[in-house]
Amino acid sequence: MNEARIEIACQLLRDCLDVKVGESLVVVTDDSRRDLADSLYAAGKRLGAESMLAVMSERSKSGEEPPAPIADAMAKASVVVCITRHSLTHTKARKHAAAAGARVATMPGITEDMFVNGAITADYGRVRDLTERMTAQLSEASTVRIEKKGYRLTFSIADRNGVSSTGLYRNPGESGNLPSGEAYIAPIEGLGEGEIWVDGSVAGIGALEEPLLLRVREGRLVAAEGASGSELLNMLGEEAGRTLAEFGIGTNDKARITGVVLEDEKVYGTIHIAFGSNHTFGGTVDAGVHIDCVVRQPDVYLDDRLVMKAGKLID
């Protein structure tokens, strides 16, 4: 087994999740990420945790629930790490595990390169400070306006609470991605209007060679123009999957556009919107799918106040 990778895994479990001797650790994986999961499992044992490796069949899309026995194990663990191809972040299983007091890190789509380079190498104290500052601004705001290439998308976030994904999940019930660095929020359903130019990446599709123009009416994606547009619409389906579900701001200055949205959506200077489920972080939609779309260097306004200019956050 790769000794260097086990040492990195030990550092992640110790520094980001505060894994202690005697705690129960469940590593959830599928066949596509088994090698990396083995390193985390070995690291958990090395740290003295009561470690368990739970391998499931690969899910068909992000937001699809794991099997019930794995969900039960997650809810009974002290610490959970989900290292899978498709994301378990926006699932009931993740939500219930955190509600039961587990510290949960999800690592959807992570690659060998991402495990040792890029966003994972950030100063997470610095990431935490910036993420919490932007989360507070989201919680205090009522409206969002995103502008790029002459297109504008507006929506309401009134009375919704922002969520900090800092990369540090050391207290009971804390959860988020690893690597991390984003502040995000669930828009009010049914109120989004306009267009957005997506030129970074799309979950399940990868880095975009050709941008997409997405058209939103009454909080619903009604058209996706560009080479990957039909693929995006097919992934979302015809029903609740097309609901505007999330707005997020990247806060990790070490993150890169890799084609894997786990890292892409954390890139400082980007924002992302998502369609599908948001019931796990303050919204009302349970669609069984959640697809993020990353935008490079937009202008962003909260309550008509400019907070990001061409990707640079304004103090």
Q: What average pLDDT does this structure show over 170-193? A: 96
Residue in 30, 4, 18, 23 with CA at minimum distance from that of residue 169? 18
Query: Which pair of structure tokens corresponds to residue 76?
Result: 């009974």
Write down the pLDDT at residue 4: 87
The count of domains in the chain is: 2
Distance CA 295, CA 271 (A): 5
Same domain, 107 and 136: no
CATH at residue 55: 3.40.1830.10
Strand intervals (E) in 5-95: 24-30, 50-56, 79-83
Write down the pLDDT at residue 180: 94
**Is a pLDDT exceeding 70 seen at residue 91?**
yes
Strand intervals (E) in the chain: 24-30, 50-56, 79-83, 103-106, 143-148, 151-156, 163-165, 175-177, 182-185, 193-198, 201-202, 206-207, 212-217, 220-225, 244-250, 270-276, 290-296, 299-302, 305-309, 312-313
Same domain, 148 and 175: yes
Longest distance between any two alpha carbons in the chain, whole Å: 56
Q: What average pLDDT does this structure show over 247-270? A: 96
Write down the pLDDT at residue 315: 77
Q: In what order do the strands lie in the sheet with 201-202?
A: 163-165, 182-185, 244-250, 270-276, 290-296, 201-202, 206-207
Q: Are strands 270-276 and 290-296 parallel, antiparallel or unpaired?
A: antiparallel
Write down the pLDDT at residue 139: 98
Write down the pLDDT at residue 2: 86
Write down the pLDDT at residue 1: 66
User: Domain ends where: 93, 116, 139?
Assistant: 116
What's the whole-model pTM score?
Answer: 0.87
Same domain, 299 and 174: yes
Three-class SS of residue 1? coil
Report yes or no: 31 and 56 within 8 Å, Cβ to Cβ. no
**Is a pLDDT exceeding 70 seen at residue 17?**
yes
Same domain, 173 and 221: yes
Same domain, 179 and 133: yes
Q: What average pLDDT does this structure show over 19-48? A: 97
Same domain, 288 and 153: yes
Which residue range forms the structural domain that includes residue 279?
122-313
Which amino acid, one-letter code, is at 230?
A: S
Distance CA 265, CA 81 (A): 19
Q: What average pLDDT does this structure show over 274-298? A: 96
Write down the pLDDT at residue 73: 98
Say which range, 73-77, 112-116, 158-162, has the weakest mean pLDDT: 112-116
Same domain, 244 and 307: yes
Same domain, 155 and 300: yes
Average pLDDT, the chain: 96
Measured CA distances, 230 to 14, 136, 182, 202, 245 (Å): 43, 36, 28, 12, 19
Same domain, 130 and 106: no
Reported as a pLDDT band with limits 50, 70 and 90, residue 282 is very high
Distance CA 96, CA 227 (A): 38
Q: What average pLDDT does this structure show over 71-95? A: 96
User: Domain ends where: 75, 96, 116?
Assistant: 116
Same domain, 259 and 309: yes
User: Domain ends where: 91, 116, 141?
Assistant: 116
**Is a pLDDT exceeding 90 seen at residue 128?**
yes
Same domain, 188 and 293: yes
Q: State the DSSP code for 280.
A: G
Same domain, 75 and 162: no
Q: Would you give the end-to-end CA distance of the chain in angstroms?
A: 46
Which positions ≥6 away from 94 have C-beta within 8 Å?
74, 80, 82, 88, 104, 106, 175, 280
